[in-house]
Amino acid sequence: MINLLDIRYVRLGTRQRDQADLFAREMLGLERARQEAGASYFRSDSRDHTLVYFDGDPADHTVGFELRSADELDAAAAELSNAGVEVRLGTANECEQRHVRSFIHFKDPTGNKIDLVLGPHHSGRRYFPSRDAGITGFSHVGLCTTDAQRDERFWTQVLGARVSDRIGDAPLLRIDDVHHKVAMFPTTRSGVQHINHQVESVDDIMRAWYLLQKKGVKIAFGPGRHPTSGARFLYFYGPDGMIFEYSTGVRLITAQEELSYQPRQFPRGNESFCMWGAVPDIAEFRAPA
């Protein structure tokens, strides 16, 4: 079984990179690490980058996960191939674009694009945000799924994730002690459904809520609190319809708890997404009519 170390980055295509660049800095509050040919790179912590906007199709999304060693990368490629998944090795140019030593690329059963990377670069300087958003780091993604039960089996049996909780058919998956690093939401498409950054406190969430409203950014959900992870949250819309989330206070499931932890089943309803009563303006979160 593949053993994912951590989530590393998200790459998003866009046809409005100048606007996306501005949003990432002024609204989201990330540090622009660099601009390269056709791409803007952003930092949210000590990693070289955690978000990339590149010139391309806005539906073109890739999520990168880190592995520990070259042996693990080779074993992962073999295991995926044995499972019938088409795998390719990243080219030297693609490694330079991702600032990694090596990587393999594949798609999960829904068609979500995944990189497994070796030796991703860290930055030699301190993270310096473009505004005081309180961001402590990139934490998780929501992914689309066209068959939640099938994709849950793939992510748990092949990629080694564990189910923390489910909301309806949507599994919340962990790869370390954080309650979830991947959440999968049933829909009719592939791609990234939302991108999460952790912030220091609920004060940062409330400051963001007022700032984003003042700047005319559409709020998608919250402020609220998830009954699953316990995190306080705020979701808002960015360029190309991408949803971003700030959250704080996410639950950790320790190694000791792991032995006896049983995933909980929540019904698909507003109260399963927010225990405070916020109503989501997010298609994948809405309860069926």
DSSP 22: H
pTM, rounded to two decimals: 0.97
Render the burial of 162-175: b for 16+ CB within 10 Å, e for the rest: bbbbbbbebbbbbb
Per residue, the 3-state secondary structure of 146-209, as one string, reads: CCHHHHHHHHHHCCCCEEEEEECCEEEEECCCECCCEEEEECCCCCEEEEEEEECCHHHHHHHH
Residue 227, phi then psi, degrees to nearest 5: -70, -20
Which one-letter amino acid corresponds to residue 74? Answer: D
Q: Which residue has the tokens 């929501």?
A: 142
Query: What CA–CA distance (Å, rounded) separates 11 from 13?
Result: 7
Domain 6-118 shares a fold with domain 135-281: yes
pLDDT at 255: 87
**CB under 8 Å to 217, separation ≥6 — which residues?**
27, 236, 237, 238
Q: Given strand 51-55, what is the order of strands in its sheet?
A: 31-36, 39-43, 51-55, 6-14, 61-66, 113-118, 102-107, 88-89
Residue 112 tokens, joined: 């979500």
Report domain extents, the chain.
Answer: 6-118, 135-281
Which one-letter amino acid corresponds to residue 266? Answer: F
Task: Give strand ranges (E) for the chain.
Answer: 6-14, 31-36, 39-43, 51-55, 61-66, 88-89, 102-107, 113-118, 135-145, 162-167, 170-174, 182-186, 192-199, 219-225, 232-237, 243-248, 264-266
Q: Is 122 helix (H, G, I), strand (E, B) or coil?
A: strand
pLDDT at 259: 86
Instruction: Please give the CATH topology (third level) of the domain spanning 135-281.
Output: 2,3-Dihydroxybiphenyl 1,2-Dioxygenase; domain 1 (3.10.180)
Give the number of residues written for the chain: 289
DSSP 27: I
Q: ω before 223 within 30° of 0 (cis)? A: yes
Which one-letter amino acid corresponds to residue 89? Answer: L
Q: Which CATH architecture has domain 6-118?
A: Roll (3.10)
pLDDT at 289: 60
pLDDT at 172: 98
User: Residues of the chain whose pLDDT is less than 50?
Assistant: none
pLDDT at 287: 73
Q: Given strand 232-237, what is the order of strands in its sheet?
A: 219-225, 232-237, 243-248, 192-199, 135-145, 182-186, 170-174, 162-167, 264-266
pLDDT digits (tens, 9 = 90+) for 129-158: 989 999 999 999 999 999 999 999 999 999
